[in-house]
Homo-oligomer: A and B are copies of this chain.
Amino acid sequence: MTGSSGGRRAAGRGDNGTMAKRPTIHDVAAVAGVSRGTVSRVLNDDRYVSPASHAAVRRAIAETGYIVNRNARSLVTQRSGSVVMVLSEPHEKVFEDPNYSTTIRTAIRRLATRDVSLVIMMAGDDGDRERVVRYVRGGHADGVLLMSTHAGDPLVDALEAIRIPAVACGAVIGKENVIPYAAANDREGARQMTRYLVGRGRRRIATITGPMDTPGGMQRLEGFADVLGRKASKRLIEHGDWTRLGGESAMARLLERAPDLDAVFVASDLMAAGALSALRAAGRRVPEDVAVGGFDDSAVALSTHPPLTTIRQPLERVAEETVHLLLALIDGAERVEPVILPTDLIVREST
């Protein structure tokens, strides 16, 4: 395994061929006829480089095909040029939520414009979390982007102790003042949907919420209650776990407990898809007997029958703003304020 397959060859300027090793800043300097320092200055566009040197270095870089070695750079600057996205779901459930895709895609793209790369890690169990902490403490990331972190996650405290720039996509319950975040206005979105259902003349409106330790779970319920006031009785509230199956069984429980309901606001499209199955199984017509409202406007909202009336979150903008906050912190901002973005009601045939 330690087999030294061919010792290192000295970086001679191969007279009749190409160099064996990747060119270093020394090679560039030699070709350009300047010193390391000047090349470095061009690389980091410092001031005080003469136009002539600048041009010579640029030419030499192109000629040699030089690429800066980030390891060497990081070693001295103590900056890694990368950011780690931490997925704090138990392994099996990660990505069950199709919204992840949008967020990851957007984050990568946004970071790429600054030449920052994105490392993805899981934090589903203690081993994972320890790995994340080790990685971050090892200085391999300039910042952390938390995804769907639940209330009380020990990782948050650990990161806080390390004092590394960290932000969340969606609030971390109980840490709203510690971990900056960008999020859709879940509460107002839930109000929009509930108001709409009321406006359509529905009288007994139930809800299926997400888990109460997630911001979407809590705040969408709060918005629901905001509109209905004391009419939001416990009898009409059921909890799900963001999965399709969870939505299905929650709907079944609701139907058993409150057979007279005529509408249900489901806190995610995926759960709403499950709820539709349960309703169909119970012989209720949608929307004639029961109106169903979802949340997210994810792809699944279009593939259900009937297509779901739902609340659209500006997912891309949420992701963009989250990255933006993180970059600001990395750049040294002392404090940044959370960003809350507006939602839209999308009416389709399920209501």
Decide: A68 and B138 in contact? CB cutoff 8 A.
yes
Q: List which A63-116 residues lie within 8 A (CB) of chain B.
A: 67-72, 74-75, 80, 82, 91, 94-96, 98, 100-102, 104-105, 108-109, 112, 115
| A256 neighbours in B (Cβ, 8 Å) | none
Q: Is the CB of A121 within 8 A of B131?
A: no
For residue A137, CB closer than 8 A to chain B, the reply is yes
Complex CA–CA separation, A119 to B244 (angstroms): 30
Do residues B105 and A67 form an inter-chain contact, with CB atoms below 8 A?
no
Interface size, chain A (Cβ < 8 Å): 54
Interface flag for A2 (CB, 8 Å): yes
Q: Which residues of A does B touch, CB under 8 Å?
A: 2, 5, 22, 46, 67-72, 74-75, 80, 82, 91, 94-96, 98, 100-102, 104-105, 108-109, 112, 115, 117-122, 128, 131, 134-135, 137-140, 244, 270, 273, 276, 280, 299-300, 302-305, 332
20 extra A-B contacts, CB within 8 A, seeds A105-B122, A273-B303? A67-B134, A69-B139, A71-B75, A71-B80, A72-B75, A91-B105, A94-B105, A96-B101, A108-B121, A108-B122, A109-B122, A112-B128, A112-B131, A118-B120, A118-B121, A270-B299, A276-B303, A280-B305, A299-B300, A304-B304
